[in-house]
């Protein structure tokens, strides 16, 4: 099924609107059973959590159909009156910080105009206090038409994710549900009317960077399963026409993170290929902030015999810090490490203060980095002999 998605996906827009953490409700228009595969495979790979679907009760009546539907994260629902079991299943999805997908039209619709929306999707979002993500799908009916069990060749699918919509409870739950439904419908209509734009802009590449960063553990390591799903996201973006040096940087980053899982003696030679990739990117885009940062990390980690150069690392960290997006303090942290290792305490204190003073999103790695910088500043203030500061790196 992944191959089918790669073959038919022609465009992805708004990937940056998918929350990297926490539950949310996907609300797409519905034209084909292929919609399920797009949502499960693309969104599941992007956020690293399963996407569950409210599915008509009839799909669970036959043995083969029941096994298939459960395998694709179906939750049985009576479209007229959801049962307590359905409600408990939805609560379990949200409690696990997973994703719920609800087709508000209630059935597949190949007409130009969307059917009236049913209220279920919006009531679930209201009850759980999670955002709704409007989704516009086009072309899925050309891949798997209604009534067909075979994929057709040549169909081209485009998917656009809209901005998260949060419920406004100030006027009561009933009004909030109606407003949420109207706002979501308007958002989907707007996405359908504008079509899927090329996904090679800063927002998409920034989203990929955020997805990789969100998958790292506290020690900065990446699990094998997360590496695989994120590589799939990069392949989908490439298959849909994205050609960006930023995506090549992320490929190099994933390769480097995979190498870190190896025993130390087995890292050196594969790491040389990462260096070559990054240098190739920087020849095309010398000011690429993330490429400069990753190459600086490479030079800081590698021994001199393999080409590691702490002085070059410092220059690359400084260049990366100058061109980094607002709030990105990774390069500053690397710069402080070099300065502390070299015994330049006052320079390190100035750099750490910049990190501490940079606003950060609550719960983000940048916030944790700022907290560590403040702790180091307190520790450095007590250092009497600057030559001892290197032990703090």
CA 343 to chain centre: 38
- E-state strands within the chain: 9-13, 24-28, 51-56, 74-77, 99-101, 132-138, 157-161
List all residues 6 or more positions away from 147 whose beta carbon is below 8 Å from its beta carbon. none
Task: Give the pLDDT confidence score for residue 340 in this predicted structure.
Answer: 95
List all residues 6 or more positions away from 203 whose beta carbon is below 8 Å from its beta carbon. 14, 15, 16
**C-beta of residue 392 within 8 angstroms of C-beta of residue 379:** yes
**CB contact burial 134-161 (16+ within 10 A = b; e otherwise):** bbbbbbbbbbbbeeeeeeeeebebbbbb
Please list the ranges in the chain whose pLDDT falls under 70: 79-80, 195-202, 383-393
Tokens of 220: 């900065």
Distance CA 122, CA 141 (A): 25
Task: Give the pLDDT confidence score for residue 296 in this predicted structure.
Answer: 97
pTM (2 d.p.) = 0.86
Task: Give the pLDDT confidence score for residue 392 in this predicted structure.
Answer: 36
**C-beta of residue 355 within 8 angstroms of C-beta of residue 333:** yes
Mapping DSSP to helix (H, G, I), strand (E, B) and coil, where does residue 53 land? strand
Tokens of 37: 């595969």
Cα distances (Å, whole numbers) of residue 228 to 18, 223, 273? 19, 9, 19
């Amino acid at each position: 099924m992944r191959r089918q998605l790669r073959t038919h996906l022609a465009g992805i827009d708004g990937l940056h609107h998918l929350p990297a953490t926490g539950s949310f409700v996907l609300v797409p228009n519905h034209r084909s059973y292929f919609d399920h595969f797009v949502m499960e495979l693309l969104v599941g790979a992007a956020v690293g959590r399963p996407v569950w679907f409210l599915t008509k009760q009839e799909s669970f009546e036959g043995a083969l159909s029941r096994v298939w539907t459960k395998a694709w994260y179906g939750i049985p629902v009576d479209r007229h009156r959801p049962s307590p079991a359905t409600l408990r299943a939805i609560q379990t999805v949200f409690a696990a910080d997973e994703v719920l997908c609800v087709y508000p039209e209630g059935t597949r619709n190949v007409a130009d105009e969307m059917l009236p929306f049913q209220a279920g999707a919006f009531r679930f979002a209201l009850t759980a206090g999670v955002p709704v993500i409007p989704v516009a799908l086009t072309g899925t009916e050309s891949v798997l038409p209604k009534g067909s069990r075979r994929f057709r060749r040549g169909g081209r699918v485009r998917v656009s994710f809209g901005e998260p919509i949060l419920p406004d409870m100030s006027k009561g739950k009933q009004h909030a549900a109606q407003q949420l439904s109207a706002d979501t419908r308007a958002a989907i209509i707007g996405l359908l009317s504008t079509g899927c734009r090329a996904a090679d802009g800063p927002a998409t590449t920034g989203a990929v960077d955020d997805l990789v960063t969100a998958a790292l553990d506290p020690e900065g390591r990446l699990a094998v399963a997360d590496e695989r799903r994120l590589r799939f996201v990069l392949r989908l973006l490439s298959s849909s026409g994205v050609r960006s040096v930023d995506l090549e940087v992320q490929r190099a980053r994933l390769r480097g993170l995979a190498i870190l899982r190896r025993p130390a003696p087995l890292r050196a030679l594969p790491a040389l290929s990462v260096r070559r990739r990054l240098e190739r990117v920087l020849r095309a885009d010398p000011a690429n902030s993330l490429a400069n940062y990753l190459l600086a990390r490479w030079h800081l980690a590698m021994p001199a015999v393999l080409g590691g150069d702490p002085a070059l690392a410092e220059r690359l960290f400084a260049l990366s810090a100058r061109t980094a997006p607002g709030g990105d303090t990774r390069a500053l942290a690397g710069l402080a490490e070099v300065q502390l290792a070299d015994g330049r305490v006052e320079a390190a204190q100035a750099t750490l203060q910049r990190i501490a003073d940079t606003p950060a999103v609550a719960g983000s790695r940048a916030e944790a980095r700022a907290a560590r910088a403040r702790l180091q500043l307190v520790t450095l203030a007590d250092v009497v002999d600057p030559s001892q500061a290197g032990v703090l790196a």
